[in-house]
Structure 1
Amino acid sequence: MSDVLVEGLNASYRQNKVLHDVSFKVQPGTLTAIIGPNGAGKSTLLKVMLGLHPKLSGTVSFYGSAFSKVKSRIGYVPQRGSVDWDFPTDALDVVMMGLYGKVGWLKWPKASHRQQALHALDQMGMADYAHRQISQLSGGQQQRVFLARALVQDSDLYFLDEPLAGVDAATEKAIMTTLQLLKEQGKTVMVVHHDLHTVEEYFDHVLLLNRTIVAHGSTREAFTQEQVYRAYGGSLRWIGGT
């Protein structure tokens, strides 16, 4: 069974149709880059799949079920620009939010939950910043904290919306190392990605999107000059290896 199955998905944004007849399936243990030009519907695709944006038609299932039935198995890291970083909380509290599904909204977290959150921060190299206000962190540090929040959920399937946008080289390396480790553990990861130069190095699968699916499959098969030109309208100088 596929981890993700999308069939005939259509969606609009501000009266403009941004997704048209999108269909694909994602196999377990894959690390997929979702790429395409600006306005292609990449972020909207994630939001529609996770019930954060309405769809016009089509179906989305995870492990053969609706999102509402398996949401505890799914982690999501939104674009950093969509988060209110002035909210008065520290890094540890942000990560602890990822445990509310296990702790319960009206219950106090246990010491073991706190240790899980600290371990997730440590995995992202942020243990020393546990009590730092998130507004005082750099963009790269904020992104690491949000990935730590997703990690502490111990999900089976992860969606990340441009986690590498605007981060420093050290943070990019830390994030990709973590995502590769999740894949090695049998987790499934889908990442909205903007840098075509690193697709072949970072990802084993590619979903090329421009309002509809242009190509989807292994990076070797789907990330070709012809397919990228189709997705981007031939406006790019080819940078791939095939």
Structure 2
Amino acid sequence: MTALTVKNLSSAYQKKIVLDSLTFSIEEGTLTGVVGPNGAGKSTMIKAILGLQPKMTGSIEFFNGKLKKLTNHLGYVPQRGAVDWDFPTNVLDVVTMGLYGQIGWFQYPGKKHRQLAFEALEKVNMAEYANRQISQLSGGQQQRVFLARALVQDADLYFMDEPFAGVDAKTEKTIIAVLKELKSKGKTVLVVHHDLQTVPAYFDHVLLLNKQLIAYGPTNETFTKSFLKKTYGGEIHWMGSDQFVESL
């Protein structure tokens, strides 16, 4: 079964085409890195798929059309810079918000819900900060909190926008461990990613994007010199087995 099918997706920002006729299908149970240069439309693509960004054309289908009510089945981790971290709430409450699709927005979370939120914090090594105000956290800690909020949903399909951006090595290690655990449980994860050196180690599939879809498929078949050259236009160096070895 495919987890996500995108057909002829186009989107514009201030009358400028950002995404141009994207068509692809994401296989269920895969961990996909979404890769491309700045301005390629990676974040816009995720937002358009989730209905957070208007689309000009196209259709989106989840799990072969079998998934109609999406609230409890889709998880989203936005870019850290898009979040108001000065909002007066603590870490545990932020994670508990991930359960509101199950609880109901006008119902108060019970002990069971808060326990689930606490367990999600434990998975990202943030349980000791449960009562800390979110504004008092470091960038890496904030990212782990939002990862926990997505985890507590127990979604089937996750979208994560630059979860590794600006985090320390400890947080990066925690995030990739969680992503691989999700995959092992049959979850499907799409991750906007910028570090080309870690793509082969982190993702079993890769989607190369530069306003148009360049390629999508297994990493060992798709993350190649020729496809990267089409994606980046020769503005990077080709990464060999362990280092950059020649200019595109």
Alpha-carbon separation, structure 2, partners of 1:147 and 1:169 = 16
Alpha-carbon separation, structure 2, partners of 1:200 and 1:181 = 17
RMSD: 1.3
Alpha-carbon separation, structure 1, partners of 2:152 and 2:236 = 39
Alignment of 1:146-165 (within 5 A): 146-165=146-165
3-state DSSP class of the match of 2:155? coil
Instruction: Identify the residue that residue 229 of structure 1 maps to in structure 2.
Output: 229
Deviation for aligned residue 1:178: 0.2
Alpha-carbon separation, structure 2, partners of 1:53 and 1:66 = 23
Q: What amino acid is aligned across from residue 22 of structure 2 in structure 1?
A: V
Q: What amino acid is aligned across from residue 49 of structure 1 in structure 2?
A: I
Instruction: Identify the residue that residue 47 of structure 1 maps to in structure 2.
Output: 47
3-state DSSP class of the match of 1:105? coil
Alpha-carbon separation, structure 2, partners of 1:120 and 1:199 = 26
Alpha-carbon separation, structure 2, partners of 1:86 and 1:156 = 30
Deviation for aligned residue 1:45: 0.1
Q: Deviations over 1:105-127 (max 9, x none)?
A: 11111111010000000110000
Q: What amino acid is aligned across from residue 151 of structure 1 in structure 2?
A: L
Q: Deviations over 1:149-174 (max 9, x none)?
A: 00000001100000000000000000
3-state DSSP class of the match of 2:33? strand
Q: What amino acid is aligned across from residue 59 of structure 1 in structure 2?
A: S
Instruction: Identify the residue that residue 26 of structure 2 maps to in structure 1.
Output: 26
Instruction: Identify the residue that residue 112 of structure 2 maps to in structure 1.
Output: 112
Alpha-carbon separation, structure 2, partners of 1:49 and 1:135 = 30
Alpha-carbon separation, structure 2, partners of 1:193 and 1:26 = 16
Instruction: Identify the residue that residue 196 of structure 2 maps to in structure 1.
Output: 196
Same amino acid, percent of matched pairs: 57
Q: Deviations over 1:172-228 (max 9, x none)?
A: 000000000000000000000000010001000000000011010000000001100
Q: What amino acid is aligned across from residue 109 of structure 2 in structure 1?
A: P
Say whether 1:208 aligns with 2:216. no
Alignment of 1:1-242 (within 5 A): 1-65=1-65, 69-241=69-241
3-state DSSP class of the match of 1:72? coil
Q: What amino acid is aligned across from residue 188 of structure 1 in structure 2?
A: T
CA contact (8 A) 1:50 1:67 kept: no
Q: 1:166 to 1:66 in 2, by over 3 A?
A: farther
Alpha-carbon separation, structure 2, partners of 1:58 and 1:191 = 21
Return the TM-score normalized by structure 1: 0.98
CA contact (8 A) 1:197 1:240 kept: no
Deviation for aligned residue 1:16: 0.8
Which blocks of at least 5 consecutive residues in structure 2 are unaligned? 243-248
CA contact (8 A) 2:34 2:207 kept: yes
Instruction: Identify the residue that residue 245 of structure 2 maps to in structure 1.
Output: none
Q: 1:14 to 1:198 in 2, by over 3 A?
A: same
Q: What amino acid is aligned across from residue 213 of structure 2 in structure 1?
A: I
Q: What amino acid is aligned across from residue 162 of structure 1 in structure 2?
A: E
Alpha-carbon separation, structure 2, partners of 1:199 and 1:175 = 14
Which blocks of at least 5 consecutive residues in structure 1 are unaligned? none
3-state DSSP class of the match of 1:69? coil
Return the TM-score normalized by structure 2: 0.95
Deviation for aligned residue 1:69: 2.4
Deviation for aligned residue 1:66: 8.7
Q: What amino acid is aligned across from residue 168 of structure 2 in structure 1?
A: D
Deviation for aligned residue 1:68: 6.2
Q: 1:162 to 1:66 in 2, by over 3 A?
A: farther
